[in-house]
Amino acid sequence: MYESFFNLTANPFRLQPDARYFYWSRGHQAVHRGLHDALDRGEAFIVLTGEIGAGKTTLAQLLLSGIDPCLTTVVHLVSTQFDAVNFLQALHIAFELPARDPATPAGTAREELAGLEAHLQTLARRGMKAVLVIDEAQSLSADALNELFTLAMMLRDRDLRVLQCVLMGQPELSTRLEQVAARRLGLPDIASFHLGQLSRDELPSYIEHRLSVAGWKHDPRFEAGCYDVLQAATDGIPRRANSLCNRLLLGAFLAGKRRIARGDVEASAAELRDELGVDALPTGAERASGHVAPAREPGGMQAQLVSSVAARLDHLERHVTTLLKKVQLYAQDRLAKPRAPRAAGTAGTALPRGWRR
């Protein structure tokens, strides 16, 4: 809405993941190097934690985009509250294994594990391996995580380093893993990484980077003190900064302003907190001023509900964006290249499937 007013080519603070807008902070660079090394070493389990909107998914996509689909099958799964058997069945679907006959009773966890193990052994014989990426892994039950570790250890016992699991989730994922470790008397080696917030000196660069990608020519201008309030209000979490800056630019457009003052940031942050609540929005401004909201239990029902809803909306937004891009590319292809008539009786040839082209 405000793009033409500020002579921007696009919305610089849209929430849809876009690699062009990705900002390589010091933390993102360090985590990327660590993830890359862990994949190269063949680590069976790689854990990436961070707050919603810290950039975990985009970072993982950039990392995995260089994988050769002829050598590695990359499978992506967004977790939910699976029990052990349903989780293993979801893995069957993700790996595109033959569907079970609906008339056949559901298998036990042991039977489901055996089917997955056989499939992975087949990949190993072909000289391939699999990378299983599980997003929102903090939602997995302890039983589901236990079965995943069991599958990995079954393969390692056969000296088959064919499966690497990348678990991505919010910080409470670490607690889930500790619970499983207590039940199993330990876990296999895990390479763990945490994606933190942008520092105070990085946040202005992050915001100006996104603006510059969208054609920003210092219109609007951020006055002194704006970035201090932005840091306090967002805790340096990129997704939060995007939401607040989007509201700032919209407000400036509606008011016909070319400069954004400290008071504008404070007002926009207050509006967003009033609309979405303090559990869904950062409370850094309140902490800085001494007005701290009443503490909540870490596992409180309301906090868990807000966290879950935000995570699901984040996933749905990414999914819809991906589908829209595919539809646009398909439509452009159909318009640019009229289809030649197909010879009678000629069947289409299936193309090999891969995570990236």
In terms of pLDDT, which residue wins out, 270 or 82?
270
Residues 180 and 116 placed together within one structural domain of the fold:
yes
Residues 40-58 have a mean pLDDT of 93
Which helix (H) or strand (E) covers residue 213, if one does?
helix 203-213
Same domain? 141 vs 277: no
Candidate from 61-65, 138-142, 203-207, 332-336 with smallest mean pLDDT? 332-336
Same domain (yes/no): 122, 67:
yes
As a whole number, mean pLDDT of residues 112-132 equals 93
Q: Do residues 62 and 189 share a domain?
A: yes
pLDDT of residue 304: 39
Q: What is the mean pLDDT of the chain?
A: 81
Task: Kindly state the average pLDDT of the residues 122-139.
Answer: 94
Residue 260 lies in a domain: yes
> Which residues make beta-bridge pairs with 164?
131
Query: What is the domain range of residue 212?
Result: 199-289
Assess whether 206 and 119 both reside in one domain: no
Residue 305 has pLDDT above 70, yes or no: no
* Farthest CA pair distance, the chain: 76
Give yes or no: residues 137 and 96 share one domain. yes
Q: What is the mean pLDDT of residues 87-91?
A: 90
Mapped onto helix, strand or coil, the DSSP state of residue 163 is: strand
The CATH number for 178's domain is 3.40.50.300
Does the pLDDT at position 205 exceed 90? yes
- Taking each helix axis as running N to C, give the angle between helix 226-234 and helix 262-276, from 0 to 180 degrees, rounded to the nearest 10: 20
**Which pLDDT does position 357 carry in this prediction?**
39
Query: Which range has the worst mean pLDDT, 113-122, 219-228, 287-296?
Result: 287-296
The pLDDT of residue 297 is 35
Q: Which pLDDT score is estimated for 19?
A: 86
Q: Examine the pLDDT at 185 and tell me if it is beyond 90.
A: no
210 and 135, same structural domain?
Answer: no
pLDDT at 279 over 60: no
Q: Is 160 left (phi over 0), alpha (psi -120 to 50) or beta?
A: beta
Q: Are residues 35 and 168 in the same domain?
A: yes
My answer on whether 86 and 221 are in the same domain is no
DSSP 33-64: HHHHHHHHHT-SEEEEEE-TTSSHHHHHHHHH
Q: Which amino acid is at 330?
A: Y
Q: pLDDT tens-digit profile of 232-271?
A: 999 999 999 999 999 999 999 999 999 999 999 999 999 9
DSSP-assigned states of every residue in 63-74: HHTTS-TTTEEE
Q: Is the peptide bond before 220 cis (omega within 30 degrees of 0)?
A: yes
State the pLDDT at residue 296: 34
Cα separation, 128 vs 164, whole angstroms? 12
Domain count, the chain: 2
Do residue 161 and residue 72 come from a single domain? yes
Residue where a domain stops, chosen among 257, 289, 321: 289
Q: Residue 85 corresponds to which tokens in the numbers above?
A: 């058997």
What pLDDT does 184 receive? 80
Residue type, 97: L
Mind listing the pLDDT tens digit for each residue in 157-171? 888 999 999 999 999
Chain-centroid distance of CA 302 in Å reads 23
What pTM did the predictor assign?
Answer: 0.75
Output the pLDDT for position 171.
94
